[in-house]
Amino acid sequence: MRIIAGKFKKANLFSVPGNISRPTTDFLKEVIFSVLPDCAQKTVLDLFAGTGSLGLESLSRGAISAVFVDVSSRAIHTINSNISKLNCEDICKVYHRRVSPFLKTCPEQFDLIFLDPPYNKNLVNKTIELICQKKVMKKKGKIIVEHSKKEIISEKWKTGLEYEKVSGESVISILHYGD
């Protein structure tokens, strides 16, 4: 697993030990970042962050800050190791928390929110609901979701769906709300 483009291009990232994490493949990262507009000057929230690769890829491409949230101690250690390796501690915050309570108390708003929960745990729509309910996304922001083909984005959120790509068992969905 590596950073694909930008100032950290080709940097190899540490993986979360064991099988608790399902890292986003380089192919899916390329799909995501080929569709996303420029990351420059964006603030990023990486939920269910795992290795932190999506937030770190955004920073590599010009995002100004990234917040990483994961409940796993192994993931938090890996995220911190990757941040240290890239020497970007000054623009990163890491929270060792469950995503739902974090969103309920999050005082910030973000331009890009990456959502990559464990597959088939019924977390995608609930998390999108919280993001919108708690106004965690800035106007013109985007939610980038990596999810299982079996866990479908609710009709309620389909109005904001601007892109969807199926790759094997995974789906990338990009949603936006508000002007």
70 φ, ψ (degrees, to nearest 5) = -155, 150
Is the domain defined by 38-176 classed in CATH 3.40.50.150?
yes
Domain ranges of the chain: 38-176
Query: In angstroms, how far is CA 104 from the centroid of its own chain?
Result: 17
Chain segment 69-96, per-residue pLDDT in tens: 999 999 999 999 999 999 999 999 999 9
Across the 179 residues of the chain, what is the mean pLDDT of every consecutive 10-residue run? 93 85 80 88 97 96 97 96 98 98 96 94 95 93 94 89 91 83
